[in-house]
């Protein structure tokens, strides 16, 4: 591992400790919230694995922090895969399919797992949907790590919000590569605000940001950990009333 890679890892783990509440990482469930009668339901999907071979069976779990689950109905579904067991429960076993994703070398693509949660006693029917992507491909003992080549923001500076109704955001576009063309997971850390979306193109919401310089970090994971990180900054100017 090179000195540059070591420095990148140190920076990224410092970001995790500093901006942990805003960080989206592999293994950390992303919560989906409902509306109406389902507004108090927050659900995500977790797994101990992020890459499997085609034909492998792996476990996924519903993640509902601080919520009563006995009055909820669970329905699992899988694209490019099959729900083997656990239908209707908090845990399910999924068998990975063998369909390939065009453009990826040494990879069969993804299994897209969907969980639908419904309250059993809601006066008005409602549902909450959560998704989870499992990478499918060859698991190698040796690996060439992915590289973040650039991070581009749509604006270098923006004016702070003058009221709660104002929305202030910048578009973020990351260019990354992997020598083996592995599918990449993108992880973001921000000093303020929040990241909307996932993948190489996301939105950095700065609606409540105070005037000053704010920083974003992005790392990529090819299934073997984050080994490359780049940063970008945006300057928030005082409200222009």
Range of the domain at 76: 32-137
Exposure class string for 183-211: b at 16+ Cβ within 10 A, else e: bbbbbbbbbbbbbeeeeeebebbbeebee
Query: Bigger pLDDT: 163 or 95?
Result: 95
Which tens digits make up the pLDDT trace of 64-106?
877 888 889 999 999 888 999 999 999 999 998 866 544 433 3
Same-domain check for residues 183 and 220: yes
Same-domain check for residues 97 and 170: no
Same-domain check for residues 187 and 231: yes
> Which of 78, 105, 137 is a domain's end point?
137
Same-domain check for residues 15 and 46: no
CATH code for position 172: 2.60.40.10
pLDDT given for residue 101 in this prediction: 46
Query: Bigger pLDDT: 154 or 79?
Result: 154
CATH code for position 127: 2.60.40.1080
Same-domain check for residues 171 and 89: no
pLDDT given for residue 16 in this prediction: 41
Low-confidence winner among 20-34, 52-66, 182-196 (lowest mean pLDDT):
20-34
> Which of 137, 163, 188 is a domain's end point?
137
Same-domain check for residues 18 and 56: no
pLDDT given for residue 77 in this prediction: 92
Most confident of 108-112, 192-196, 225-229: 192-196
Same-domain check for residues 156 and 198: yes
DSSP 169-227: EEEEEEEEE-TT----EEEEEESSSEEES-SSEEEEE-TTPPSEEEEEEEEEESSS-EE
Mean pLDDT of the 123-148 span = 76
Averaged pLDDT of the chain? 78
Low-confidence winner among 18-22, 35-39, 163-167 (lowest mean pLDDT):
18-22
Pairing of strands 107-119, 42-46: unpaired
Domains in the chain, number: 2
């Amino acid at each position: 591992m090179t000195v540059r890679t070591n420095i990148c890892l140190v920076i990224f783990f410092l970001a995790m400790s500093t901006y942990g509440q805003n960080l989206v990482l592999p293994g950390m469930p992303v919560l989906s919230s409902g509306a109406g009668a389902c507004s108090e339901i927050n659900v995500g999907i977790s797994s101990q694995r992020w890459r499997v071979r085609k034909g492998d069976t792996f476990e996924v779990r519903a993640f509902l922090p601080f919520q009563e689950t006995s009055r909820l109905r669970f329905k699992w579904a899988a694209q490019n895969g099959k729900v083997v067991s656990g239908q209707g429960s908090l845990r399910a076993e999924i068998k990975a399919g063998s369909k390939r994703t065009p453009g990826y070398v040494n990879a069969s693509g993804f299994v897209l797992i969907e969980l639908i949660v419904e309250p059993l006693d809601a006066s008005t029917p409602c549902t909450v949907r959560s998704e989870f992507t499992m990478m499918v491909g060859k698991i190698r003992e040796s690996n060439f790590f992915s590289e973040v080549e650039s991070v581009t923001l749509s604006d270098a500076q923006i004016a702070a919000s003058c009221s709660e109704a104002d929305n202030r955001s910048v578009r973020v576009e990351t260019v990354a590569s992997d020598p083996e063309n592995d599918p990449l997971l993108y992880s973001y850390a921000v000093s303020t605000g929040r990241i909307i979306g996932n993948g190489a193109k996301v939105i950095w919401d700065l609606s409540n940001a105070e005037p000053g310089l704010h920083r974003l970090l992005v790392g990529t994971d090819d299934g073997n950990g984050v080994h490359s990180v780049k940063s970008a900054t945006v300057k928030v100017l005082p409200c222009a009333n």
